[in-house]
Structure 1
Amino acid sequence: MPTMESAAPERSRTLAPPDGLPRPGRCLVMGILNVTPDSFSDGGLYADNRHAIDRGLELAAQGADIVDVGGESTRPGARPVCLDEELARTLPVVRELARAGVWVSVDTMHAPVARAAVEAGARLVNDVSGGLGDPAMARTVAAAGVPYVAMHWRAPSREMDRHARYDDVVPDVMAELGARVWQLTEAGVDPSRIALDPGLGFAKRPEHDWALLAGLGRLRKLGFPVLVGASRKRFIGAALTGTGAGDVPPAGRDVATAAVSALAAAGGAFCVRVHDVPASLDAVRMAAAYVEYRDCT
């Protein structure tokens, strides 16, 4: 396996959004649209196509730069769904949102779903497996020519918690992501269209998530833009509980998520993926103002 230093190919060191994505001059905000019955915080709310389309339009109206449509839950312990079911959940929603002018991404680890979604109007593939879930994904993305987010991933949802073991989580994740980049580019994926996601909550304990969030500057040394998906996750709930707030359910973690969005944006993330768009949009705008003055001092 390539080392962390050798894995990333020679390329421009710009950390702007991947080619083909909006460039608003601040951290992008990706709105989550789970068209599933079993996602960890909003499963079932938008499982009906009409409700999902309305929600996607609402996210866009609230200021989401990208609406991320996912038809398979990746919560801890989730079971996979068949391709036909995932396609039936996602394609009508992707197609209608794209027709309405919404920037749409598809959240999938399956090449046939990615291919069909791009044909239906999706402009980004967001793959939680980083191409490990389907060997055909890299070739599919390369042929489609769309931006691709490769997340750090070690195992399927039903067993990922058993793999939350690291010698030192930041360099370990960097090395594994670097190896994914090398394999993706070897398969023909344009490096200027690749972004990386450290995979908060995926085969991670809370202490790993916080270390990765604090280590964004080191992750960015791989030379690729970094997306942070922290919204409503367990490490946020654990931190709130530790402050004496009691057990805070996922839907009650949006204010804390916005705080994490500000931290991620100030740390150099190119995009945050969230359920509550308005709060995180305000947060990344404040981070942009802060960074402008911080970097002038």
Structure 2
Amino acid sequence: MELESLGAFLKTRRDRITPERIGLRTYGATRRVSGLRREELAQLAGVSAGYYTRLEQDQAGTASAQVIEAIARVLRLDAAETAHLHNLAGLPAAPRLTRAEPERAHPRVLALLDALGDTMPAVVLGRRGDVLAWNRTGHALFAEHLVFAAPTEPELRPSIPRMFFLDPLTRDLHRNWSELARIHVAYLRLTAGRYPTDGHLAELIGELSMRSAEFAALWAEGEVADCTVGAMHLHHPTVGTVDVDYQVWLQPDSPDHRLEVYTPRDAGAADALRLLGRATAERASDPVASSPRDTTPPGPVSRR
């Protein structure tokens, strides 16, 4: 699957900006497009209509930072969308996909994860949403039906995007699945702009587009967003209703890796996490009790 081009992104954003939103008077004229016309956007951004048309057709080569900033202002892009636009503008006409070596969490990140212990759920994610590491409570909170040691094997690592769209147990876990699914897709698009030659990422997006109609529909909407804080409303099979906040700690040594930490939103959630922590510790100390849960479902949640 080819990742998104500058022209495709520009068109989706131009279609969403109405003349009224930016104070452009149309004098009651009948319009055949719901958004801005190319020539209108070009004029407001201070570039020629012909040049902007070539940009949208991916025929103008790379654009200057000043031009991209001017277009972003006209299109009312937020910080994440503007960063994505700059990433796309810097791409060569036909970037070649590459396949990097398996990701590894930095030792300092693993040391921080270890320091958190098992009282606070935490997960280390790679750039494509693969789980690089987790503590036992993080594993139990989100994927107790998977093997705890799976992140140590690159070919068995759970993939959060695959789990969200292809694993029914993960879908049942999240009471606000629709909201979180939209965020996952928007963040994947931002990541695709940052790493346009990542062949594994292109394969992931292509696979999800083919296997999940919901992913394909969300991807077609063209949303872009960063993902640093938010809420998860869970219906956990062991401890019942749990509402947690997630916050992301970015890693200077590996900026495309994320340590996600989950904290309770209320007293009931705090009690549930304590109960989950105790149950997790008991299972960890009893191999016989833990073995029935450590069964990996087929295919969709792991990297191939």
**TM-score, normalised on structure 1?**
0.25
TM-score of the pair, normalised by structure 2: 0.25
Choose 1 or 2 for highest CA Rg.
2
